[in-house]
Amino acid sequence: MASDVTIPALGESVTEATVGQWLKNVGDAVAADEPIVSLETDKVAVEVPAPMAGVLVEQLVKVGETVAVGAVIARIGEGGAAVKPAPAPPKAEATPPAPAAAPPPEAPKPEAPKAEPAAADDMLSPAVRRLVEQYHLDPASIAAGGKDGRITKEDVLAAIEAGTAKTIIAPPPAQGSDSPQASGGGQPPRTEERVRMTRLRQTIARRLKEAQNTAAMLTTFNDVDMSAVIEARNRYKDAFEKKHGVRLGLMSFFVKACVQALKDVPSVNAAIEGEEIVYRRYADIGIAVSSPGGLVVPILKNADQRSFADTEKAIADFGRRARDGQLKIEELQGGTFTISNGGVFGSLMSTPILNPPQSGVLGMHRVEDRPVVRDGAIVVRPMMYLALSYDHRLIDGKEAVTFLVAVKNAIEDPARLLIDL
């Protein structure tokens, strides 16, 4: 008896997905709850598990096809082994005897060296595939430590660290009359590569363009002296990590500062819905993190009720699971305000784009020593540029500047975060 594999519910407002990769081929044995296909949604990659143990007998959709929630995409039959029925041997009487003088047929040349990389490549999970493609690695050179000979993310990282993973180098161009070497030109070949956009990248592009087309977006800037925060972090980081098991970073200070500023300027935490303004009396802060598929914004729910330790643990967990492709769809939905830290990539200044329907986004940037004037003297301080992009339909310039100055004051004097100033 066969069992249908259907597209599960993917979260609120997500009605369809694209087949990104089949993790099992027709004829392969599968265990119950073992991932057999990876789907790409507008937000994250999702692996669909097998509903029962057996053999994958049919794939009903191809890679790249879009399927709706509830659609049947494969069938699993009963059985415990990966079998593709072998042809029955011919009957002896139907086979004429070979001439005595005829030489034995030449054995086919082994194709194992070529087949192994492909087989290994077919067994890669989305998270492992992204690592392999990012570092241009040959999967066949990585020792597999996972179930059924599958390569895990830990296997890839261990191979990279040990230097045993081989990189894939593009083959040299054919030495024909048109090749640069044959013509003596010495110029490298001009090549192009076309790669289909993932659903995540398509969604990012669409939403960013919608934000530009819909909101009256404006950005205001300020700079902040990071001396006090850096001093506090250096003073307490060891005790903080020992007590809470997580490192004390800069992001938790900015989350706390933004939460306080949102209380002072509630319009930055509001949203326009039709002809109404919705003021949120809570703070769900989106934290922009980088993933192999692009920038994603998991939501730090109830940030106004979290401690520094809770905030740091949640942010560290978001970053780790974003890299591994394990964020859940519900963790990417909602949000009242967003913080994006381009400084981790070396950005000095930028104008972040709103994440609709939010009305504000704070852009952090790199910290660098710059000369500033303090008490009439030129001194060197660790400075950071801050950028607040906001929807001018809802937020006036005065409110935007007031919000940004409130964040600046809290960062330059962290004691304000403790006494709610």
Cα 11 from Cα 291, distance rounded (Å): 20
| Short-list 90, 58, 88, CA closest to 75 | 58
pLDDT per residue rounded down to tens, the chain (421 residues): 678 888 777 665 567 778 877 888 888 888 888 888 878 776 566 778 888 888 888 888 888 788 888 888 888 887 654 444 444 445 444 444 444 444 555 555 554 444 444 445 556 776 677 777 767 788 888 888 777 778 887 788 777 766 677 777 555 445 544 544 544 556 788 888 887 777 667 777 777 788 878 888 999 999 999 999 999 999 998 999 999 999 998 999 999 999 999 999 999 999 998 889 999 999 999 998 887 766 788 899 999 999 999 999 999 998 888 887 777 777 888 899 999 998 888 889 999 988 888 899 999 999 999 999 999 999 999 999 999 999 999 999 999 999 999 999 999 998 888 766 6
Cα 126 from Cα 39, distance rounded (Å): 9
Q: Where in the chain is the domain with CATH 2.40.50.100?
A: 3-77
Cα 370 from Cα 225, distance rounded (Å): 10
Residue 305: CB atoms within 10 Å: 10
pLDDT at position 363 is 95
**Which helix H or strand E contains 16, and what residues bound it?**
strand 16-22
CA-derived radius of gyration, the chain = 28
**Residues for the chain: how many in total?**
421
364-416 per-position pLDDT tens digit: 999 999 999 999 999 999 999 999 999 999 999 999 999 999 999 999 998 88
- What does DSSP say about strands 360-364 and 337-341: parallel, antiparallel, or unpaired? parallel
pLDDT at position 177 is 47
Q: Where in the chain is the domain with CATH 3.30.559.10?
A: 199-419
Q: Does domain 199-419 have CATH number 3.40.190.10?
A: no
Cα 378 from Cα 372, distance rounded (Å): 6
Cα 383 from Cα 318, distance rounded (Å): 27
**Which helix H or strand E contains 272, and what residues bound it?**
strand 270-273
Cα 168 from Cα 378, distance rounded (Å): 53
Cα 159 from Cα 77, distance rounded (Å): 37
CATH architecture designation of domain 3-77? Beta Barrel (2.40)
pLDDT at position 141 is 82
Q: Is the dihedral of CA 237, 240, 245, 248 positive or negative?
A: negative
Model confidence, pTM:
0.60
Cα 261 from Cα 406, distance rounded (Å): 6
- What does DSSP say about strands 16-22 and 66-68: parallel, antiparallel, or unpaired? antiparallel
**Residues annotated catalytic, as ranges:** 392, 396
| Short-list 305, 307, 268, 311, CA closest to 287 | 311
Show Cβ contacts of residue 214 under 8 Å, excluding neighbours closer than 6 positions: 356
* CA 264 to each of CA 196, 259, 267, 405: distance values in angstroms, whole numbers, following the listed order: 45, 9, 9, 11
The answer to whether 165 and 141 have CB atoms below 8 angstroms apart is yes
